[in-house]
Structure 1
Amino acid sequence: MPIFAPAAAPTRSELVDHLVRTRIAGDVATPRENNLSHYRKLANGDRHYWLGLELGDRWTDEQDVLAVMAERCGVIDDPDHRTGQDTIDPEMTVGALDRSAAELRKAAEGRLRVLFATGHPGALLDMHGALARSLHDAGCDIVRVPLGTYTDDGVVVQFGGVAVLERGASLWHTHSPAPMAAVLDQLGRAGEPPPDLVVADHGWAGYAGQQGIETVGFADCNDPALFLGEAENTLAATVPLDDHVTDPRFYEPLTSYLLAAAQPGTE
């Protein structure tokens, strides 16, 4: 069964305009100083910024990280630009959505096991949930997290098929890879196979890709690790976007475009 195609999916040019207008891409809210600080910390070996990937000593030069971010995310490539505005190229966002759509299409055609997760439940939960529902309706097995998966002083729960970390009755914004590590461990203990595909962000995506699982990630311009992972073929695709704009509904056209692009015959 093919993936459901939303009737109101935007065209490529319409989506680019929307991304720029809502600042999901284009002139984004994340300042240049914050981006460069994160690139430097990753290069200096701060594992918080590795998002579950094992980068070794391959990315110890901040300028090398910046070069990949300019190439795959569209940040300003001038190393002397140290403060002020930074950017995400909306064409790169749409291109990465097209690559992600190919992975969703393969999952639907093969009726694969897919795990959805987000470390940004305040913004991206609805987007992941819509993707999970569509793949479920297309015949995929949406992985259910075993009950009692505890990690990082919280518990992994699911809403609409999407795994999130809950602490103290609140859904938690987390970059940690520990929740994904706990989920994969608990699946193994329950005698279940790992997912065939993970669609996630932050450490959820990085850890899954590092374990050899086909992974689609979503990442902001101040989270370089997932882009490095795609550059090294550890992740299948990393979609550049501001991962927390003012209203989660702003991601709906992006979601509709992605599902329409995942239809058979659209590759």
Structure 2
Amino acid sequence: MPILSRAALVEHLVRTRIAGDVATPRENNLAHYRSLTEGDRHYWLGLELGTRWTEESAVLAVMAERCGVVPDPDHRTGQDTIDPELTADALERMAARLRKAAAGRERVLVATGHPGALLDVHRRTAAALSAAGCAIVRLPGVLTGDDGGLVVQFADVVMVERGATIHHTHDAEPMTAVLDGLVRAGEPLPDLVVADHGWAGCAAQRGIDTVAYADCNDPALFLGESEGTVQVTVPLDDHVTDPRAYGPMTDYLLEAAGLG
């Protein structure tokens, strides 16, 4: 008997607003899409998008297809959405890549720029992969990134600490510090990165297999998936009020990967 059926997962995602009618307003989504098209690298999340995405309408079309935001370009304010069926589809694609990693006992790096909400999702994923025989990549010494913040590893998940506080960040620089540090130490790069925000974009841009989570106001990783740079991007509200709401979603992911 599965821990959670797909139908029950979809109901849970909508009820907790991880998907469905999400808290992120349409105005915020469109502002971020516009900033990305104007070349603001903060919104590129470590990817190199060049001049391929200069039209807001093109970004909106990808976000409607891969995330489930309202496709109508005249919808400028108010409620926006994430399609829970697309979330479930992407979780299943992510599960397939995790299953492959476990079968090959790959080297995996797990990181988050959204520790306030997604830390336990990543922690449980890292623990399940480790139990299956994967090698969880360790930090190669003391590293800094993100305006001098320390790159730290807690429960096998890499994050940024600043002022004795785990820090929310969209930046790619901390992942750059990790990957460059591995190279300097003569250690192999990961076979797989499980991450979000700039951690994911940077790793994917470096050619590492990357699966990621992203909100509807963070279009870059969805664009990266559409171009084949990011392997999987799971659409979800990445900071719902109660982080425990992600528990059933993580159950579904790990069971689908054969890691539950």
Normalised to the residue count of structure 2, the TM-score between the two structures is 0.98
| 4+ runs deviating over 4 angstroms | none
Alpha-carbon distance, 1:9 to partner: 2.3
Q: Paired residue for 1:214?
A: 209
Q: Deviations over 1:104-131 (max 9, x none)?
A: 0000000000000000000000110000
User: Alignment partner of 1:14: what SS?
Assistant: helix
Matched, 1:53 2:65: no
Identity %: 70
Report the alpha carbon displacement of residue 171 of structure 1 after superposing the two structures with TM: 0.4
Structure 2 unaligned regions, length at least 5: none
Once the two structures are superposed, what CA deviation does each residue of 1:152-203 show, in whole Å capped at 9, x if it has no partner? 2111111110000000100000000000000001111111010000000000
Residue 140, structure 1, aligned to residue 152, structure 2:
no
Shift of 1:233: 0.4
> C-alpha displacement at 1:147, in angstroms?
2.2
Q: For residues 107-126 of structure 1, what are the structure 2 equivalents within 5 Å? A: 107-126=101-120
Q: What residue identity is the alignment partner of 1:176?
A: D
The alpha-carbon deviation at position 60 of structure 1 amounts to 0.3
Q: Deviations over 1:42-90 (max 9, x none)?
A: 0011000000000000000000000000000000000000000000000
Q: How many residues are treated as equivalent by the alignment?
A: 258
1:199 pairs with 190, 194, 204, which one?
194
Q: Distance in 1 between matches of 2:40 and 2:144?
A: 24
RMSD: 1.0
- The answer on 1:259 being equivalent to 2:257 is no
| 1:172-191 aligned within 5 A | 172-191=167-186
Aligned-partner Cα distance in 2 for 1:45–1:98: 32
Partner of 2:69: 75
Following the alignment from structure 2 to structure 1, what is the Cα–Cα distance between the partners of residues 204 and 115? 20
Q: Contact between 1:75 and 1:221, CA under 8 Å: does it hold in 2? A: yes
Cross-structure match for 1:157: 152
Following the alignment from structure 1 to structure 2, what is the Cα–Cα distance between the partners of residues 236 and 81?
Answer: 30
Q: Distance in 1 between matches of 2:141 and 2:168?
A: 20
What is the one-letter code of the residue matched to 1:123? A
Name the amino acid aligned to 1:242.
Answer: D
CA contact (8 A) 1:8 1:256 kept: no
Which of residues 79, 83, 94 is equivalent to 1:85?
79
- Are 1:10 and 2:4 counterparts? yes
Q: 2 CA distance for matches of 1:150 and 1:76?
A: 39
Structure 1: where are the runs of 5+ without partners?
1-6
Out of 98, 110, 125, the position equivalent to 2:92 is: 98
The whole-number CA distance in structure 2 between the counterparts of 1:81 and 1:89 is 17
